[in-house]
Amino acid sequence: MNKIASLCIASSMLLLSSVASADPLWPLDRKFEANLGVFFLDTDTTIRLDANNQDLGTQVNLEDELGLDSQDRFRIDGYWRFLDRHKLRFMYFDSSSSSSRNIEREIEFGDETFPLNAFVKVSFDVTIFELAYEYSFMKRDNFELSGTIGLHNLSIGARLLAEASSNQGAGGIDRDAKADGDGPLPVIGFRGVWALSDHFYFDAQAQFFALEFDEYDGDLQDYKISFTWMPIRNFGVGVGYNKFTTSLDVDKEHFNGTLRFEYGGPLLFITGAF
């Protein structure tokens, strides 16, 4: 009986030792990963540009009131694991869209007034670049949970152009107003990776910030979830969903006003890793 008990204990210790020393699955052990994909984008943009004399502008939803279309855009992101629990992560995304229509109310945008029925052309550009540091405070052979801290650099440009005639038959009215802003926004968050095998894994992240400093007052939220299939060791394909929202009050020379920008939608991407 003692021999059987000793054999069971020895077998258990051997099993625990083999589990503890097991190598991480491939998705948790690679040094570099890059994803390139298309974003099926749905946006919601509300902007107000105040005049130089501090008069408040008109709050305008660019999609609902000016017909700005959501468009498909490319996105690239990835990471470099320079130590076992330490990564540098990057992301780049940009979108440019434009539209035109007759407006149904008067709009104050910066120092310009766009009258009722003006035929307004609008363009809106946004570029987001992220650089973040990740530390894996929980790492198993098939699961990794990390804390992140980094910067989102958000660049925006908005422009309204108009040539209009009043209902009373006045001559053409020309208006041209634009605004641009650029600034780094600090973010913190969490990321989890769950590897089902060497070929399949889930990846989820949540990032956020709230800031009231100098010229900025606002918040940012960024959520992403994805599923990746790696049919071969260094190449894979995946699907995911990303939701990004920022709301800012800005008091700067080139952009004095408020911005609420939101995008979201499914992702299709290819992955390279080694």
Q: Domains in the chain: how many in total?
A: 1
Assigned domain for 154 exists: yes
Residue 5 has pLDDT above 50, yes or no: no
pLDDT score for 17: 40
The answer to the question of residue 15 being in a domain is no
207, 148 contact by CB (below 8 A):
yes
Percent of the chain with pLDDT over 90: 54
In a domain, 208, yes or no: yes
**78-94 burial: b if 16+ Cβ within 10 Å, else e:** bbebeeeeebebebebe
Residue 168 is predicted with a pLDDT of 40
Residue 4 predicted with pLDDT over 70: no
Residues 155/124, Cβ–Cβ less than 8 Å: no
Domain membership of residue 20 (yes or no) is no
* Each residue's pLDDT tens digit, 16-30: 444 444 567 778 989
Q: Is residue 4 part of a domain?
A: no
Give per-residue pLDDT as tens, 191-207.
Answer: 999 999 999 999 999 99
Per the domain annotation, does 58 fall within a domain? yes
- According to DSSP H, which parts of the chain are helical? 2-20, 62-66
- For residues 43 and 5, the model is more confident at 43
For 160, the domain range is 31-273
Of 75 and 138, more confident: 138
Q: Distance between CA 72 and CA 43 in Å, rounded?
A: 10
Give domain status of residue 6, yes or no: no
Residue 2 lies in a domain: no
The two three-digit tokens of residue 163, written as one number: 């040539």
pLDDT at 7: 42
Residue 216 CA to residue 248 CA, distance in Å, equals 7
Position with higher pLDDT, 143 vs 257: 143
**Which tokens hold the place of 81?**
């694991």
Residue 69 DSSP one-character state: P
CATH classification of the domain holding 215: 2.40.128.90
